[in-house]
Amino acid sequence: MKILICGQTGQVSRELQLRLAPSNKLFAPGRDQLDLAQPEQIRQQIRSLCPDLIINAAAYTAVDRAESEPQTAFAINAVAPGILAEEARVLDIPLIHYSTDYVFDGSKAGTYTEDDIPHPLNVYGTSKLAGELAITEVAGKYLILRTSWVYSTHGRNFLLTMQRLMQEEKELRIVSDQIGSPTWAGTVADSTHKIIERWQTGGAGKWGTYHLTARGETSWFGFAQAIGEALRQQGKPCANLLPIPSSEYPTAAVRPLNSHLDCSRLQREWSVGQPKWQDALHECLAAQA
């Protein structure tokens, strides 16, 4: 199968390429060949390639910088997904698109389901929600997969930042009142691979919007504690960690306090489940070693 993956070097894209390459013909162009901020370039690439499936693993993910660069964030996160959906519908092929927990404001007491009404707090979340709406308005064969707190062994993410800082500093202050599900990019790629296999073998569920994160929840402080414990088990130094409220760590973009997503619909409709976040972290660290 011929698959176009938007985003060549992103965390999820790299993991997707590892899993999909053995049995598919992949095209994962860099920004010089496929710039999602250039609508005509998107259309030209898709029409010349004529893929069997489009996976949009690219996004503007600089959450704080988006507050001062809304035009760029919306071009990549809102306009481009709509164009991808339009081209996919013309070819009568599926589009798999990744979105975010940041479409919610975090005020709910329990887990967020796909039926909860989004209310983003920042430009990044607003642009990602606009991308979701653009795809749903086209109404083709699409899967919008909302994930959260993505990390991996490459790129820029919380795991790698903490591993570095914990060995450089004696003490680190980590936010403890934001709750979510740390999700390894490999978990997202594994689940996506299973979804594609279900579709190819006639076992596809309903098209639409789903939540896809690791199981369980923790805070950024709890996530940092798990990373620190792994460092200690490897005999490496680790800074002393202190929990702090979000109010003591101001950022340009406001983050939701509750980012815990309910992923049961994906299990029901597509028979795709996810591992506990702790197990996925161990698997990621084993691959890093």
How confident is residue 8, by pLDDT bands cut at 50, 70 and 90?
confident
Residue 256: pLDDT over 90: yes
Tokens of 280: 């996925």
Fold (CATH) for 2-156+183-215+261-275: Rossmann fold (3.40.50)
Task: For residue 238, give the 3-state DSSP assignment.
Answer: coil
Enumerate the H helices of the chain as residue ranges: 11-20, 39-49, 70-74, 80-91, 123-138, 158-168, 185-200, 220-233, 264-270, 277-288
Neighbours of 132 (CB within 10 A): 22
Residue 289: pLDDT over 80: no
* CA 103, chain centre distance (Å): 12
Give me the DSSP letters along 12-72.
Answer: HHHHHHHHHGGGSEEE---TTT--TT-HHHHHHHHHHH--SEEEE------TTGGGT-HHH
Query: Phi, psi at residue 109, to the nearest 5°?
Result: -80, -30
List pLDDT tens digits, range 200-218: 998 889 999 999 999 999 9
* Separation of alpha carbons 106 and 258, rounded Å: 4
- Which residues are identified as catalytic? 124
pTM listed for this prediction: 0.94
List pLDDT tens digits, range 149-183: 999 999 889 999 999 999 999 999 999 999 999 99
Residue 269: pLDDT over 90: yes
Tokens of 91: 């070819």
